[in-house]
Amino acid sequence: MNRWLLVAAVVVTLALPPLLPERHLGTFVLLGLAATVTAGVSMLMGYAGQVSLGQASFYAIGGYAAGLLTVHGVPTLAGLLAAPVVAAVAAVLLGAPLLRLRGHHLAFATLAMQLILLSLLGRGDWAGGAIGLQGIPTLPVGGDLGYAYLSWAVLAVVLVISRNIVASRAGRGLRAAATSEIAAAAGGVAIGRYRLTVFALSAAFAGLAGGVYAFYLGYLSPGSFPVLLSIEFVVMAVVGGLGTIAGPVVGATVIVLLVQALNTLGTQPGMPGYAPSVLSYAVYALLLVVTVLYLPRGIVPAVTDRLVKERRP
């Protein structure tokens, strides 16, 4: 049954882009990228018990790495491949001190990390400063339709990697350490190294998405990576369901569609100018509260639980 659901999802995903009107194709691309970043957040939170409120930093680092390299003449494909690597290396360097912190302290530290990064990018002339980095070449994928397939192919790769890791020796070590550090360490899990590795892995996912983003838009500025974006990734992960493979896709889809609908509503004639931003902030808050209250484990676990119960009356 699960297999058929997967096949259906893949068929719909492949069939959708040519059918979408031009103006919605961009949403489809950004949704694929958001789900890719969220897959990393979900692994970090759901399987390793760490919270990052600064995941957009690595999205930005990947984007700027790809952008800067290709603006300076590096081939686009090499730039795209460099994006996750640079983001992962940055995560290792930043994570070594940061991951000494736990829980809320870690969350705030990652938030601070992003604020510092945004300030550096805004002041750095080498990165285009506050105006942004312009003239990033495009990937030879054949326009928006190509990017739609590319972003979802990237998502598919990331989801397969996530699934492979979760069901492996390393994944068991991670899940064990998230629930009982003492017992995991006694079983031979090097907890510090594992925490750092999964932080770097989630950063690599974000960096790869950021690389595609840079080529897709051809332009980057610090304003493209607000703190709100990091929070959005966390909300997507929680709403979809932490510790599930499909959760990030479902969560990202729900949030993106909802924000889109509210944006349409907010820009109706007669609405005040601040309506769209107020509505989107409100929807994150509301959705998070409703999810935590009624579906504490997120949409995907709630649905699969129900399916399992129906089969075993």
Partner 1 sequence: MTSGAALEVSGVSRAFGGVFAVRDANLSVAPGELRAVIGPNGAGKSTLFGLIGGQLAPDAGSVRLDDVRIDRLPPHRRARLGVGVVFQAARIFPGMTTLENVMAGAHATTHAGFLAAAFRLPSHRREEREIRDRAAECLRRTGIEDWAHRPAEELPLGQQRALQLARALCGRPRLLLLDEPASGLRTAERERLATLVEDLRGDGLTILLVEHDVAFVMRLADRVTVLDLGRVIADGTAAEIRADSRVVGAYLGTAA
Binding site for partner 1 (CB under 8 A): 161, 164-165, 168-173, 175-176, 179-180, 182-191, 197-198, 201, 243
Q: How far is the CB of 51 from partner 1 (least distance, A)?
A: 17
Cβ closest to partner 1, residue 218 vs residue 296: 296
CB-based contact 237:248 (threshold 8 Å): yes
Q: How far is the CB of 171 from partner 1 (least distance, A)?
A: 7
Q: Say how far apart CA 67 and CA 259 lie, in whole Å.
A: 28
Q: H-helix or E-strand containing 46? A: none
Cβ closest to partner 1, residue 20 vs residue 170: 170
Q: How far is the CB of 194 from partner 1 (least distance, A)?
A: 9
Cβ closest to partner 1, residue 177 vs residue 236: 177
Q: How far is the CB of 188 from partner 1 (least distance, A)?
A: 3
Cα 271 to Cα 25, 164, 262, 275: the distances in Å are: 26, 48, 12, 6
CB-based contact 192:95 (threshold 8 Å): no
Residue 169 structure tokens: 């020796």
Cβ closest to partner 1, residue 72 vs residue 169: 169
Q: How far is the CB of 27 from partner 1 (least distance, A)?
A: 29
Amino acid letter for position 155: L
Cβ closest to partner 1, residue 114 vs residue 197: 197
Cα 52 to Cα 17, 170, 192, 232: the distances in Å are: 32, 21, 16, 11
